């Protein structure tokens, strides 16, 4: 500060004393300067990053200094200062904050300081996941990686709202901190776009590309960006076409690398990589590294972001964030369908690949049993239909018909599997196991569990003993252990043993079957049992099969006897309310 001649002697003494105290507090007594450079942290095309101590604020910071080799290039100096000023204007939790810009008094080189992030670049994390290092696999699961990616998207969305594009988004420029920080770094190629035209308002430096240059490294010539990730418009060097949707492509390339563990473009030399980038010649994500098991829905997000034509990419970063969020939380559906009254959503016996969430309306779940329509359930809004078929992709066990105009959300078998893959493996296995078990039980929902159990079990019992009688062999058995009979019927009908045993005990109670003290079962009068089977067929209107009976002749006493048995059996299967 220049001396003001208007100061009084006392004011001048106070000023000098204040300066001495301030210099002492800021440790400037020996003209040591504000920063003490400790060591080099990294090096890039535009500058060198050092770890430096800020003596004024007593904190460790990162200092970026322009490389001396380009000090004769005024445009590069201008770009360096512009990078610092532009980044400083982007105050966002996921963009590295700039602390100070200055000039080294000894070299004359400009520098700026920024927050020192304690962590790892994302590309190193991906490499360690690919190397199957256990702690990295455990920490950086799919959800964690997608959360990191969303943070980067938020930084890009904010920058775009300020009219700024990054142009060099890639895992190497993303820093992941030890405590969950995610910072999009290196805004050296960032440009401000005209809000109306959407094109760069800055001049550009045109240089040459070295054929043996690394495709992962940033170019700042005719082609600006990292060739292994760039959009077609960048590969062609078409500056006027580089805009917000170029960053969308780069976000897609980053997501591609995160989940395939490889950049989109790889080749022997830089020009071949650029040639591939011009035509978006990259392997589909799921083919690039099959061991990564990329869900189809995530691949679709990547491919949409990396669409060759800009009009086919996401409209903005917010739309990409929305799709990633929907993928993470399982809010995606395959579409909507509206069913008219009487229209079938699902047909019994068909192998359906779709489940339905009822949004509005009502449907009836029903089955055909012996030529009769049996209603299993009536369901409405919020209910899910066909969820087990959606998981197991097996044939449906019932018809589902719309009772009124019904609006549904459709969930495909493929989508169901993708969402289940997001669960911890043990939970996914539990769900599949439970589904298979329920599916097995559904198969056992025989007509006797829906309506009347007398006919199927009694019919089986009759034919078991009829087959024995027809052998007419001296050593043929006319009795069987109860457990063996129950097991045989259970195998033939796919029913649970408890229900079968209850039916047999009622038949035994009314002398259609007999059980001795050793629990051996026999049939005292096979003709009576056969007549009772025919009685059940007529009474319950059992249709089909080889034996068609329209009526049978019974004495009043026999009919009363059979009706008594049937009433007793019916109590085992009360009608559904």
pLDDT at 204 over 60: no
Q: What is the overall mean pLDDT for the chain?
A: 81
pLDDT of residue 104: 82
Could you tell me if 522 and 495 are in contact, meaning their C-beta atoms sit under 8 angstroms apart? Answer: no
Query: At 389, is the pLDDT very low, low, confident or very high (cuts 50, 70, 90)?
Result: low
Q: pLDDT per residue over 458-515, tens digit each?
A: 988 998 888 877 765 544 457 899 988 988 887 777 666 777 888 999 999 999 999 9
Q: Does the pTM of the predicted model rise above 0.75?
A: no
**Residue 308: pLDDT over 90:** yes
Query: Do residues 278 and 236 lie in contact, with contact meaning Cβ atoms separated by under 8 Å?
Result: yes
Are 373 and 366 within 8 A, CB to CB?
A: yes
* pLDDT, position 369: 56
Average pLDDT of 437-442? 54
SS3 94: coil
Best CA proximity match to 536, nearest among 503, 492, 566: 566
Q: Look at the chain and count its residues.
A: 577
User: What is the reported pLDDT for 408?
Assistant: 86
Q: Please, is 478 exposed, middle or buried when counting C-beta atoms within 10 Å of its C-beta (0-12, 13-18, 19+)?
A: exposed
Nearest-CA neighbor of 317 among 415, 393, 250? 250
Residue 455 contacts residue 369 (beta carbons within 8 Å): no
- Euclidean distance between CA atoms 122 and 176, whole angstroms: 6
d(CA 200, CA 239): 7
Residue 122 clears pLDDT 90, i.e. is over it: yes
* 539 pLDDT higher than 60: yes
Compute the average pLDDT of residues 364-393.
72
| Residues known to be catalytic | 168
Domains in the chain, CATH or no CATH each? 24-114 (3.30.200.20), 120-329 (1.10.510.10), 335-443 (2.60.120.10), 447-570 (1.10.10)
Give the position of tokens 């066909």: 386
Model confidence at 567, in pLDDT bands (50, 70, 90)? confident
């Amino acid at each position: 500060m220049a001396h003001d001649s208007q100061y009084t002697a006392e004011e001048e003494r106070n000023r000098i004393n204040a300066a001495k105290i301030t210099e002492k507090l800021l440790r400037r007594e020996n003209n040591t300067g504000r920063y003490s450079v400790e060591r080099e942290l990294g090096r890039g095309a535009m500058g060198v990053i050092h770890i430096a101590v800020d003596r004024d604020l007593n904190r460790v910071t990162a200092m970026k200094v322009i490389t001396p080799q380009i000090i004769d290039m005024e445009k590069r100096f201008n770009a360096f200062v512009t990078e610092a000023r532009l980044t400083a204007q982007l105050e966002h939790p996921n963009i590295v904050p700039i602390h100070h810009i200055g000039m080294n008094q000894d070299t004359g080189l400009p520098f700026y300081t920024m927050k020192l992030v304690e962590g790892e670049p994302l590309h190193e994390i991906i490499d360690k996941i690919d190397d199957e290092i256990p702690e990295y696999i455990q920490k950086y699961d799919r959800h964690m990686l997608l959360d990191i990616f969303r943070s980067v998207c938020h930084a890009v969305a904010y920058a775009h709202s300020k009219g700024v594009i990054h142009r060099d988004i890639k895992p190497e420029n993303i820093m992941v901190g030890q405590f969950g920080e995610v910072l999009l770094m290196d805004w050296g190629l960032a440009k401000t776009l005209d809000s109306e035209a959407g094109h760069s308002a800055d001049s550009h430096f045109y240089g040459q590309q070295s054929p043996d240059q690394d495709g992962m490294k940033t170019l700042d010539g005719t082609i600006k960006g990292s060739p292994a990730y760039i959009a077609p418009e960048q590969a062609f060097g078409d500056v006027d076409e580089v805009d917000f949707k170029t960053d969308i492509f780069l976000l897609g390339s980053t997501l591609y690398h995160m989940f395939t563990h490889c950049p989109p473009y790889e080749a022997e030399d830089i020009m071949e990589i650029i040639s591939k980038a011009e035509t978006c010649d990259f392997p589909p994500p799921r083919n690039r590294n099959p061991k990564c098991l990329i869900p189809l829905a995530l691949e679709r997000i990547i491919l949409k972001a990396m669409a060759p034509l800009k009009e086919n990419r996401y409209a903005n970063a917010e739309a990409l964030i929305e799709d990633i969020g929907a993928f993470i939380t399982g809010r995606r559906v395959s579409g909507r369908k509206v069913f008219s009254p009487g229209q079938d959503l699902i047909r019994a016996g068909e192998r359906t690949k779709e489940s339905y969430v009822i949004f509005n309306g009502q449907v009836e779940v029903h089955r055909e049993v012996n030529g009769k329509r049996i209603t299993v359930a009536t369901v409405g809004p919020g209910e899910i239909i066909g969820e087990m078929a959606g998981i197991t992709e097996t044939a449906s066990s019932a018809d589902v018909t719309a009772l009124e105009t019904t609006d549904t959300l459709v969930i495909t078998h493929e989508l169901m599997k993708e969402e289940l893959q997001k669960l911890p493996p043990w939970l996914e296995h539990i769900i599949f196991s439970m589904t298979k078990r329920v599916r097995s039980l559904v198969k056992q929902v025989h007509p006797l569990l829906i309506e009347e159990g007398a006919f199927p079990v009694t019919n089986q019992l009759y034919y078991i003993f009829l087959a024995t009688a027809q052998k007419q062999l001296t050593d043929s058995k006319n009795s069987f252990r109860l457990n063996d009979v129950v097991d045989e019927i259970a195998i033939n009908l796919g029913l649970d043993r408890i229900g079968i045993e209850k039916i047999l005990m009622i038949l035994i109670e009314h002398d259609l079957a007999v059980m001795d003290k050793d629990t051996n079962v026999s049939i005292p009068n096979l003709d009576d049992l056969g007549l009772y089977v025919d009685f059940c067929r007529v009474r319950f209107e059992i249709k089909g099969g080889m034996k068609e009976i329209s009526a049978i002749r019974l004495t009043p006493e026999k009919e009363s006897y059979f009706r008594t048995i049937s009433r007793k059996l019916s109590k085992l299967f009360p009608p559904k309310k």
